[in-house]
Structures are given as C-alpha cells and as structure tokens.
C-alpha cells in the first residue's frame, strides 16, 4: 500500500504506550460490500473505539461489548463472523467467555488479544478454543490480515473476488452474476443476501439472521422486507440462467439450492 493511500486520522494519546493503535483511513474501492460482522469484547474503550474505526473503514460491521458477561450474551447469538476477545475483562474473563462459547457449540472464529510476551495467555487461549491470537500493541494491517486468514479457514472469503455457485459466478465486489458470458447486475441488498446464503453452503438461514446480517440488529425491518428481497433475488437468479434458486421453508428460513432440489 502506497503512503498516499492512507493517512493517520487520530492517535489515542490517553492509551498507554503498549496499547496505542493508529487508526488508518484506507483508500478502498467504493463498491466493496460490507457484510462481515465482528464482535469486539474489550473493556478498554479507547482501544475498542480505535479498532472499531479501523474495521469500519475496511467495511466490517462492528458491535462492542465492554465486559465479559455482556460479550458472552452477544456471542451466543451466533450472528457474528468473527469475535475479537481480550483476556482481561470485568465480570467474566476472556478465557471463561471462550470456554462457555465452545461448550455451547458456538464455533465463531475467535481472535484473542494478549499482552506481548505472555506465552501462558496465548497457550491457554488456544487450548480453550481460540483460533488465533494477536499480541498488543498491534498494527492495523496485522489485525486485518489475521481476520482475512480466519475467514479463509472458515471458507467464506472469495477466491479471486468470485464465488462459484454451480454454473454461476458471483462477484460481490462488482454486484454481478455471470453465466455463459452474460452479466446480470444485482442491487447491494441482493448481493449481500446472496453472499450470506452462499456462505451457509445450503443450510437454512432464518429471517432474523438475515435482518441482523444484511440490515442491522436494531434496524426497523419487517419480515416483509426480507420476503421482498428474496423474491427480487430469485428473479435475478432466474434471469441470470443456471440452476440456482432460493428455497423457502416456512418457520425455518431460506437456503440456496438447485432447481432440481439439490442443496449446494
């Protein structure tokens, strides 16, 4: 990345030296789709705010929890793509939060924040089910790289910017479907909905989850909005060609499947 492509927005001087984080504004394409949701469980509010700004500038949606108990309640909803979890937290420490999550069979990738040189914390976190760790202080580029790596392990990131859906090629970055050389354009919401369904690999996604992921948890969105977007997406998939459609199951949700009834 060239120097001219980013600038320092703010340096949190109140944070101790070991916790300081530079908040960078990256020159990213305006067509990048924001879909991945991150839960950050960190009681140091200045640090949490700084990291939140970094992630939002890079098209992540972020929720913050400032203590372990509330963080666990949020994480147990299962709506997040990644969790950034500090070890030292009020009310419930990060290791206990992680143990409770894994005991509840919540497999959301967790990136633990540890103090530099604290090998015992890193080992304990990994043994409790953390997917990776990041020692403080850290650079924003390393944070973003580790999240991308977690996404690749989870199998939800794009390959060369394209998701293969049978005979269809779906490019979220350009909001297009491609089939036999024919391009079909999608709206932002249609693209976000398709990306969410594709990530579930043929499993059903509830209306509540769609609202939380495609809109937001506190958005004033009704079930009818979801039904409308699903209907529009079905029409776009049909216009694009191929064998893909959106299957509805009353009281369960939606999933992608072929028109022959085979789930992806």
What is the pLDDT tens value at each position of the chain, 264 positions in all? 434 333 333 333 344 433 344 344 333 333 344 457 899 999 999 999 999 998 888 878 889 999 999 999 988 887 788 999 999 899 999 999 999 998 888 888 899 988 756 677 778 878 888 888 888 888 888 988 888 888 776 654 455 567 888 788 888 778 889 888 889 999 988 988 888 888 777 788 888 888 877 876 556 788 889 999 999 999 999 988 878 899 999 888 999 888 765 555
Domain total of the chain: 2
pTM reported for the whole predicted model: 0.57
Same domain, 95 and 168: no
Question: What's the longest Cα–Cα distance across the chain?
Answer: 60
**Residue 113 burial (10 A CB sphere; 0-12, 13-18, 19+):** buried
Helix, strand or coil for residue 75?
helix
Same domain, 150 and 168: no
Q: Is the dihedral of CA 123, 124, 128, 132 positive or negative?
A: negative
**192 phi and psi angles, rounded to 5 deg:** -65, -40
Residues 123 and 177 in one domain: no
- 82 and 120, same domain (yes or no): yes
- On whether both 83 and 184 belong to a single domain, the answer is no
Separation of alpha carbons 52 and 56, rounded Å: 6
Of 249, 254, 245, 248, the C-alpha closest to 167 is: 245
Which of 129, 154, 179 represents a domain boundary (last residue)?
Answer: 154
CA separation (Å) from 113 to 30, 166, 196, 246, 258? 30, 39, 27, 39, 42
Q: Are 145 and 170 found together in one domain? A: no
Last residue within a domain, chosen from 127, 154, 181: 154
Helix H or strand E segment including 3: none
User: Is there a domain that residue 264 lies in?
Assistant: no
Structural domain boundaries enclosing 146: 3-154
Are residues 185 and 213 part of one domain? yes
Last-in-domain residue among 122, 154, 186: 154
For residues 184 and 216, membership in a common domain is answered with: yes
């Amino acid at each position: 990345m060239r120097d001219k492509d980013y600038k320092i927005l703010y340096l949190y001087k109140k944070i101790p030296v070991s916790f300081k984080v530079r908040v960078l504004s990256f020159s990213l394409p305006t067509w990048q789709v924001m879909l991945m949701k991150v839960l950050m469980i960190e009681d140091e509010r200045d640090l949490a705010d700084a990291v939140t700004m970094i992630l939002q500038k890079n098209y992540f949606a972020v929720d913050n929890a400032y203590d372990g108990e509330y963080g666990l309640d949020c994480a147990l909803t299962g709506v997040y793509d990644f969790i950034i979890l500090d070890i030292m937290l009020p009310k419930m420490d990060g290791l206990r939060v992680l143990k409770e999550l894994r005991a509840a069979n919540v497999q959301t990738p967790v990136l633990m924040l540890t103090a530099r040189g604290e090998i015992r914390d890193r080992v304990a976190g990994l043994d409790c089910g953390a997917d990776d760790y990041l020692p403080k202080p850290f650079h924003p580029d390393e944070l973003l790289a580790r999240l991308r790596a977690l996404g690749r392990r989870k199998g939800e990131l794009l390959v060369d910017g394209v998701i293969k859906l049978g005979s269809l090629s779906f490019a979220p970055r350009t909001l297009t479907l491609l089939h036999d050389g024919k391009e079909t354009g999608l709206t932002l919401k249609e693209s976000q909905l398709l990306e969410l369904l594709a990530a579930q690999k043929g499993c059903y996604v509830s209306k509540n989850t769609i609202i939380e992921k495609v809109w937001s948890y506190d958005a004033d969105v009704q079930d009818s909005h979801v039904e409308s977007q699903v209907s529009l997406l079905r029409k776009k998939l049909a216009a694009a060609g191929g064998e893909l459609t959106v299957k509805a199951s009353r009281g369960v949700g939606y999933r992608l499947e072929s028109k022959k009834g085979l789930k992806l």
